[in-house]
């Protein structure tokens, strides 16, 4: 591993000052579970590494009015242990619990999952399904709020500038009648990169019709997104088998349209339909 300078930020301002001066040749480290392998292989060779794990203001889960705020340096274990998220956003708890193994979850962070922007990310698509917004800050431009669905540009590339730090992730608190589900497929039950994951958020009105639906499959497209073409099939209708099948078809077609036919399509397209139907079924 090529050597570098190491700086541990104590406050957000500390970190922003470092990034403002040296952001171009600096890499931010939190849990390090994505960055350290890249440093070892020398795929990235920063002059400086900025550690943000000691900044208390970047940690925690809190309710702020109608929103839930998640500190970027919150680990996957802390997500799983959060009473607020267990009650209000169990989808996120499920997604976080699927990442790696206990050791990885004790270090890996939510913002890391976002900033790495792997096409196979687990927590990132779940946050998209929950309508999350990134709060990003720099010395020059102050705070920007970016919907997460707009923040991922390409595999492994977010819209963050080199002098910017993620300082918060917020999302509207799902209503008490909103349900969320997540399922991940991997080569193992743990320590496995997602071959596919599906996040679904569903709210039905009193007569059982779909009032709100978000479907975000992960690891099936270069950049995850809500599959509105599938969501719209079910909106306003009861999730009966025929309609659900049509929505699943639209899901697969939507993915195919985005990616074109790939060698994995023969496996992934029928399977994503089944996983989607299974997750939806559990929520109904």
Partner 1 sequence: MSKPDEKDPLQMTVNGKAVSLSIKPSWTLLHVLREELRLTGTKKGCEQGDCGACTVLMDGKTVNACLVLALQAQGSVIETIEGMGTAENLHPLQESFLANGAVQCGFCTPGTLMSAKALLSDNPSPSLQEIRVGISGNLCRCTGYTKIVKAIQSAASRKP
Q: Which of residues 39-58 bind partner 1 (CB under 8 A)?
A: 39-40, 47-49, 51, 53
Among 6, 10, 147, 235, indicate the residue that binds partner 1 (CB under 8 A): 6
- Report the relative pairing of strands 142-147 and 5-8 from DSSP bridges: unpaired
C-alpha 98/C-alpha 231 separation (Å) is 25
Among 10, 67, 153, 190, indicate the residue that binds partner 1 (CB under 8 A): 190
Using CB under 8 A as the binding rule, whether residue 36 contacts partner 1 is answered as yes
Among 13, 24, 25, 37, indicate the residue that binds partner 1 (CB under 8 A): 37
Site string for partner 1, 97-136 (x = CB under 8 A): ---xxxxx-xx-----------------------------
**H, E, C per residue of 151-207:** HEEECCEECCCCCCEEEEEEEECCCCCEEEEEEEECCCCCCCCCCEEEEEEEEECCC
What is the dihedral sign for C-alpha 113, 116, 119, 120?
negative
How many CB atoms within 10 Å of residue 79?
Answer: 25
Nearer to partner 1, 182 or 276 (CB): 182
Least separation, in Å, of the C-beta of 13 and partner 1?
Answer: 16
Site string for partner 1, 63-102 (x = CB under 8 A): --------------x----------------------xxx
Place of tokens 């009861």: 238
C-alpha 61/C-alpha 69 separation (Å) is 6
Nearer to partner 1, 3 or 176 (CB): 3
Rg (CA), the chain: 19
Q: Total residues contacting partner 1 (rule CB under 8 A)? A: 32
Which residues here bind partner 1, judged by CB under 8 A? 1-8, 29, 31-33, 36-37, 39-40, 47-49, 51, 53, 77, 100-104, 106-107, 189-191
């Amino acid at each position: 591993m090529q050597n570098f300078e190491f700086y541990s930020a104590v406050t957000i301002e500390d970190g922003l000052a470092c990034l403002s001066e040296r952001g171009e040749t600096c890499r931010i480290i939190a849990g390090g579970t994505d960055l350290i392998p890249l440093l070892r292989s020398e795929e990235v060779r920063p002059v400086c590494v900025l550690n943000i794990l000691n900044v208390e203001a970047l940690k925690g889960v809190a309710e702020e009015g109608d929103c839930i705020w998640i500190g970027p340096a919150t680990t996957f274990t802390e997500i799983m242990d959060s009473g607020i998220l267990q009650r209000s956003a169990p989808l996120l708890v499920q997604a976080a619990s699927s990442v790696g193994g206990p050791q990885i979850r004790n270090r890996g962070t939510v913002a890391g999952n976002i900033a790495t922007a792997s096409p196979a990310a687990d927590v990132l698509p779940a946050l998209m399904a929950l309508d999350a917004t990134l709060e990003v800050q720099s010395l020059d431009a102050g705070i920007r709020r970016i919907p997460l669905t707009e923040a991922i540009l390409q595999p492994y590339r977010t819209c963050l500038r080199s002098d910017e730090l993620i300082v918060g992730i917020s999302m509207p608190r799902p209503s008490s009648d909103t349900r969320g589900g997540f399922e991940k497929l991997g080569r193992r039950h743990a320590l496995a990169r997602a071959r596919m994951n599906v996040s679904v958020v569903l709210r039905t009105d009193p007569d059982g019709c779909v009032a709100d639906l978000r479907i975000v499959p992960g690891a099936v497209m270069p950049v995850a997104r809500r599959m509105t073409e599938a969501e719209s099939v079910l909106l306003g209708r009861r999730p009966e088998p025929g309609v659900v099948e049509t929505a699943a078809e639209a899901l697969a077609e939507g993915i195919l349209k985005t990616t074109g036919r790939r060698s994995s399509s023969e496996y992934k397209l029928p399977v994503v339909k089944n996983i989607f139907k299974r997750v939806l079924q559990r929520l109904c």
